[in-house]
Structure 1
């Protein structure tokens, strides 16, 4: 009897449990249906008459101190973003925003907090490229802004509008992307600064359309009055330069209202920047500064504001285009010496990686490199990830818990963003490596391509699981410290005296860890010994460049005057016997 009672009760309990589960499931489904977004978006025919492909980004902000499109960040001060791919969007067609679109920092619409917010939409326009490898890809073309989705000329956006979200319910909206970002006027030549843009045959052949690279050229004092003199070439690598910024022929604007730099905790930093630029002009034209030609290269790609200055499967032969097309052209136009020893490279962060990369990849074509706070130069320390040994980029896994891997810190070690935060933000801005941001450009530079023609992921962007086959490809082709060790016997004579590295030991992105590993490799070199320099700044943050006398906010503005002098002081070590080391020292 007891057994029968328990059988009946158990059977009834099972039925109740199944009924409850169905009820919960139905309730969840109804909740999702009720919280589905009803956002209709359109753009007018006066902006475009043809259908568009691209990325639609919806932004939600608590305030409009700046437009929401300028507020999407990695840290806790970010606004909210959702993104979805769009194909063949016709003018005046009402497009419904996908409720399942991925979001950052809140992943789903239903989980948004209640309150009053401002909503803005941005459309990042893509173009179709038929590459030489037979693959067709859709990517955003740079339009003079340096591959910035929220500033790119031709992109569409709406004006912010106020909404109320309550209990996960998003209001119905009609959003008109009736604003179009205007074209950018190119800079004009001056006595000292010239602007160069050439068609690259190598890149045009790769991309199946005309492709260009360029540079801003700073001529030395006396260039026009010394027509027989040929000059060394100082090549500064780094993020997309709109002009030869950091060079100003007039004192700071007396009407400029001082602003506050949150990054450096400095009041009136904008005035300091102008003063430093004016001081550099006076130094550049003064009697004691070396006479060289200085250039800043412009080479934005469809993936970022610059190419990382090396050849890659996804972006094409940018290393060869810069080294064998652009630089010789500039030297011919402006009387450069035109020999490997007379070209030296320098830069910080992205530019620091590029400076070392071109010295490693083209050992005879460049005479010296000065790499400050370089992006990861040893992938055992790809920021805080060892791509060869770690299984997951987002988490340190233990037996009973897992810990998020930090992505950004201040000089005291306070973390305000994790690697997962950074990568999830990029997922909102673009699929298939098309966000135009940091982690995507590293993949576009270092990775082989997938079957569609886009860069292969080093790790799954949602889970963080690392692809070891991709990691092995990275190691053999772009792990600069590993390549130096692997090829020292072959190219050591061409690298000796040329490698100089600088990094703060509290770099915000943990880039000093890779420099430590690279230093170990360099310190063990023999026949020849590398005979360069590795230096660290105590508690110095990102962009520290070897200046022990000034803070980051000042030293980062002095790359030209610091590294040009360093090169001139050391040039005799790399110049061949009989090289002209005097005529350009007037």
Structure 2
């Protein structure tokens, strides 16, 4: 009777928090801030931290913010107020057996130049991945049984930290650079760095008098130039199946493509350029989107005026706008087009494949300027969710609402490190609390039109080109090239159609570029009609570098050196 009375007197939220997590003093020398994540799975085929997806096979995550968590103390999690995915409520966890894991995504405090103090997860070399970030605290998966007893408390504890990732080593062909950015350091109030993988052209060390064009590859790709390798693949290694492409031994295919690219790069007929992959992970994502942002800082200026000139000076680049070109896919496709549009004279051409939405009238399947809700179609008597992911036949596996609720469980205040949140972090104005203003309510989907207008004026690339074409057009003519599958998994082709309508109608001057679509091609088709998407997505360098070299003479000034570096 006494225990029942005590339970009745406890706040309902505390009574529902059936999980208690210990922060061992051995793993924390001081109090910690971050996002506490409880991960639950009925599948022991992988750790729960690797099973949180937008798709139908996702497992469960429950998240809450923690501040000043003292070593040796406990936190409770599982209340109705805690964010949960895909559960509607953390207290609705069905009884049964689970594999449980806890993770603390650690936050750092930043005092920015705009006067705001914010707590964010700094990238630590992993590419802003909450489930891989070095230093994050973690527990080994533990089999538990959740009962229907509301008084049950399940004790969990961290038992290790994710280890550090070593810096990549230079090779004969690939060098790695890392510079302190003054612009970004001033903004963030602490040292901030930009980096790049640099692929040297054939005979770079021997031809010391030659200066080279710069091929700038944007996008979040973990391996140096697709795993550029100078030896054939080891086919004795076990095959790895790709569920995405339904291909067995896909790891061998990837390695063969990397080796084939090396042979082309080292061959007699490939253009000799400096190819770089920019590393610009930040406290919100593994890419900055290569533009200036109220929340991320002046990444566009830092890349264009600090990193690129440094690389050109160090590795004998030509160092002029006509001799720099941009290419990439998905995020990298948007970045390539954005940098070309916003810095039209600093870059000579762009090749944007499967770009993130470039016209916000088709922000995937949302019109940010006309729709009232991002999650649901307007209707008086029925509820229809907007799709978020499809396959090449149009079969939907996730909705926009589901993707956003997953992010909300992983991090509040746009801190999940995932796709919808980074768009918000880059494009939105700063809120009163120092974090990005929401483009829509993360729970309900209601769109904030004031925020949408800020997005349009600063980052809607199609709108910016339409608005500024009289002055921008002469600087962009012949430089804009876009490629997209017409069954892109994330409906990115919709925005390309709208941008194409404007570009094809231009006359003073005509944009004079290339826009093509792949029939039933998914994300991230890059314009190669001869290969399936599983292969073409591995051939960005070998496809776009020769394409640019064939047209460079159109944009080069009279007397420019177009021969010494070519072959």
Question: What is the aligned-residue RMSD (CA, Å)?
Answer: 1.7
CA shift in 2, pair 1:167/1:199, >3 Å: same
- CA separation in 2, counterparts of 1:160 and 1:232? 50
Which runs of 5 or more residues in structure 2 are unaligned? 1-6
Show the counterpart of 2:100. Answer: 119
For structure 1, the residue ranges without an aligned partner over 5 or more in a row are 1-26
1:334 lines up with 2:315 in the alignment: yes
| Residue in structure 2 matched with residue 138 of structure 1 by the alignment | 119
* 1:498 equivalenced with 2:479 (yes/no): yes
1:162: Cα distance to partner?
1.2
| Alpha carbons 1:34, 1:169 under 8 Å: kept | no
Q: Indicate the larger mover: 301-310 or 34-43.
A: 34-43
Distance 2:221 2:114 in 1: 27
Aligned counterparts of 1:552 and 1:98: Cα–Cα separation in 2: 42
Please name the residue that 1:39 is paired with.
19
2:181 — aligned with what?
200
1:409 to 368, 384, 390: 390
When normalised by structure 1's length, the TM-score is: 0.93
For 2:148 and 2:520, how far apart are their aligned partners in 1? Answer: 45
- Structure 1 equivalent of residue 3 of structure 2: none
Residues paired across the two proteins, number: 560
1:31, CA displacement in angstroms? Answer: 13
- Show the 5 A alignment for 1:251-290: 251-290=232-271
Partner in structure 2 of residue 88 of structure 1: 68
Partner of 1:366: 347
* Partner in structure 2 of residue 21 of structure 1: none
Provide closer, same or farther for how the CA distance between residues 168 and 476 of structure 1 changes in structure 2, counting only shifts above 3 A: farther
Instruction: Measure, in 1, the Cα distance between the counterparts of 2:343 and 2:200.
Output: 25
Over residues 94-149 of structure 1, what are the superposed CA-to-partner deviations in whole Å (9 max), with x where a residue is unaligned?
22225121100002233223321111110000000000111100000111111110
What is the deviation of 1:573?
A: 1.0
1:535 aligns with 2:535: no
Note if contact 2:13-2:79 (Cα within 8 Å) is conserved in structure 1: no
- Per the alignment, residue 409 of structure 2 pairs with 428
* Secondary structure of 2:333 counterpart: helix
CA distance, structure 2, for counterparts of residue 377 and residue 170 of structure 1: 51
CA–CA distance in 1 between the matches of 2:151 and 2:232?
51
Shift of 1:241: 3.3
Q: Which moved more, 1:438-447 or 1:253-262?
A: 253-262
2:379 matched to 1:384?
no
Shift of the 47–580 alpha-carbon distance from structure 1 to 2, 3 Å rule, reads same
Could you tell which deviates more after superposition, 240-249 or 412-421? Answer: 240-249
CA contact (8 A) 2:78 2:91 kept: no
1:4 aligns with: none
Match of 2:501 among 514, 517, 520: 520
Structure with greater Cα Rg: 1
Q: 457, 460, 464: which one pairs with 2:441? A: 460
Moved more, 169-178 or 85-94: 169-178
Map 1:60-209 onto structure 2 (within 5 A).
Answer: 60-100=40-80, 101-167=82-148, 169=150, 171-209=152-190
Deviations 1:372-393 (A, max 9, x none): 0000000000000000000000
Give the match for residue 439 of structure 1.
420
Q: Distance in 1 between matches of 2:150 and 2:43?
A: 20
Deviations 1:285-315 (A, max 9, x none): 0111110010000000100011000000000
The normalised TM-score by structure 2 is: 0.96
2:63 match: secondary structure? strand
Task: Please give the per-residue CA displacement for 1:371-423, whole angstroms capped at 9, x wherever unaligned.
Answer: 00000000000000000000000000212112000000000000000000000
| SS of equivalent to 2:224 | coil
Among 286, 291, 300, which residue is 1:305 paired with?
A: 286
**Offset, 1:46:** 2.5
For the pair 1:56 / 2:31, whether they are aligned, the reply is: no
1:547 aligned residue (528, 534, 540):
528
Task: Describe the superposition over 1:516-569 as per-residue Cα deviations: whole angstroms up to 9, x where unpaired.
Answer: 000001001112100000000000000100010100000000000000011001
Q: Is the 8 A contact 1:241 1:296 kept in 2?
A: no
Distance 1:431 1:28, change over 3 A: same
Deviations 1:449-477 (A, max 9, x none): 10111110000000000000000000000
Q: 1:557 to 1:168 in 2, by over 3 A?
A: farther
Cα distance in 1 for partners of 2:151, 2:287 equals 38
Q: Which secondary structure state, in structure 2, belongs to the residue aligned with residue 196 of structure 1?
A: strand
Partner in structure 1 of residue 488 of structure 2: 507
In the alignment, is the contact (CA less than 8 A) between 1:246 and 1:276 conserved in 2? no
Which residue matches 2:4? none
Q: 1:110 touches 1:169 (CA, 8 Å); kept in 2?
A: no
* CA spacing shift, 1:208–1:35, aligned 2, 3 Å: closer
